A and B are shown apart, each in its own frame.
Chain A
């Protein structure tokens, strides 16, 4: 890292002052401001090597990191009623939807995948924040119902990775109804005594947090993720004072008892393999999942923070 910080970085900084970052080869960490070479950032799972800030990663990348050998199959989502309210603000919702679909090449803000994680068949639902802020409407609700049904049918655990600004306003009351719907969805997994694990990623707020995402058997969170119900601006407007440091961050929620552990992205897969093993293979003398020790960012499964 030294050559980077001592010699390359000042040159880059000089360059940046002259013009914007050239060709996105260098990435400036939003947290510590250090410049990181794009390749290095990618190899480090979009985690800043200097300050451990966890940047957002794509839904596909997350699935790739999670499943054995990066192999998985996506489940086809049923077509749902598009724009049920014919909603229009400054722009038509149908147009916003088409734009998001064009940009992300998927039908809505979620992927449901199945594959092996630590040799165990697992169903995973990952939100795509780049699709209208990962907001939850009928299609996302349907996908979670599908994911839960798939888990129950396969006798497999369900892992959800929310990343969402909350309910999709453009679907009005129908987006609110996804709260009871997704609660019902995961309820089926729980009634089948299969693990339902939530990995809270940045950001998880509003109606998503206040439904399926807060009733997991276990709650894991990535470091520094914003997790909460009300938006920070709304709270500030109401109370008219500054919010405490680290408010609504993973570590803050850990401290307040709302999540089980904060896990670094690099340790996530192994942590999940271990806890799934513990919850489902109740006796296995051979089982042991190696995990690194605790980090300054919170506990791991080996050493709960």
Chain B
């Protein structure tokens, strides 16, 4: 059963009809097959119409879609020989951030990313993708490991943000994020970051301060959630839609601002409708992005990152 977003209702209706017809259909019933074909064309047309002009708030819904590919899907599709590595060596293992070593197209890499989890139990285990300080400290540890062995780092971001809890604060959530950003910027290996779904604030930039930042077409990347922004600036979370517009959190806007370097196109109707196609595109984009950096020296990689981030803020919309 597919999960439909509110604005996808016309598509849900059409696809419902297709399903019904399929049940009615008997072998060789040409009329019904024809009808299904027509409806399918209609679905595609509708999808194109809806997805061509998603509002920022609709994009937020797509970015948070429960069927959107997660890190676990990315690992299955793009990484072989993956060996997950656990623990921050200080306090705990944090399942909100998954990391390890594996091969991307034959090349050894370190992979680090947030994982929201798919089903209730899984989501709880991954804390809905909201990391505690241990998650960011594990990320730092793995980045250092990559640095030590000269392995490129691939990071994947899909998080509402860092977890706001008492323990997280006591164990230095702010310090952990700051150090994670610092480590991203210090390593002398290429760091390619991808905003897969939600790029939520400090918890996202902690993993995304890379040489090259990729972003899926319908992903979002923002300093604060539209709901959070609305409740502060409009004094009501009901203005989330307005906040989503004002924040300019879509891939197209972020590309213009120089915050992301490249947008990865999604299949018609969003990555959740065809995860395999979306992940294929992701793999190709990473491969292309990684190539030029493989030739650079460690110092050049570091200097490049510095120049890139220092320059952000010169452009406007």
Contacts and interface: CB of A to CB of B under 8 A. Distances in A.
A229 B181 contact: no
A84 B248 CA distance: 10
B243 interface: yes
Contacts of B249: 172-173
Interface in B160-179: 162, 164-166, 168-175, 177-179
B310 A181 contact: yes
B313 A174 contact: yes
A159 interface: no
B259 interface: yes
A173 B252 CA distance: 13
Contacts of B243: 89
Instruction: Pick from B179, B202, B223 the residue with the most CB of A within 10 Å.
Output: B223
Nearest to B173: A229
Interface in A78-97: 80-81, 84-90
Given A89-B242, A181-B313, A210 B234 contact: no
A229 B313 contact: no
Nearest to A86: B317
A183 B224 contact: no
Nearest to A175: B223
B223 A187 contact: no
B185 interface: yes
Contact of A177 (B166, B170, B259, B317): B259
Given A172-B223, A210-B202, A184 B309 contact: yes
B315 A247 contact: no
Given A169-B224, A173-B254, A184-B185, A239 B166 contact: yes
A207 B173 CA distance: 11
B306 A184 contact: yes
B179 A85 contact: no
A213 B173 CA distance: 13
A145 B312 CA distance: 12
A78 B209 CA distance: 25
By Cβ-Cβ distance, the 9 closest A-B pairs, closest first, are: A230-B164, A209-B174, A89-B233, A138-B313, A84-B316, A229-B174, A176-B223, A210-B177, A214-B175
Given A173-B221, A174-B257, A181-B312, 9 more contacts: A88-B246, A89-B246, A167-B201, A179-B177, A184-B310, A210-B175, A211-B178, A215-B178, A248-B169
Interface of B: 162, 164-166, 168-175, 177-179, 181-182, 184-186, 201-202, 204-206, 209, 221-224, 228-229, 232-234, 239, 242-243, 246-249, 254, 257, 259, 306, 309-310, 312-317
21 contacts: A84-B257, A84-B315, A167-B223, A169-B229, A173-B248, A173-B259, A176-B222, A176-B223, A177-B313, A180-B181, A181-B309, A181-B313, A183-B182, A187-B182, A207-B202, A210-B175, A210-B177, A210-B206, A212-B178, A215-B175, A231-B164
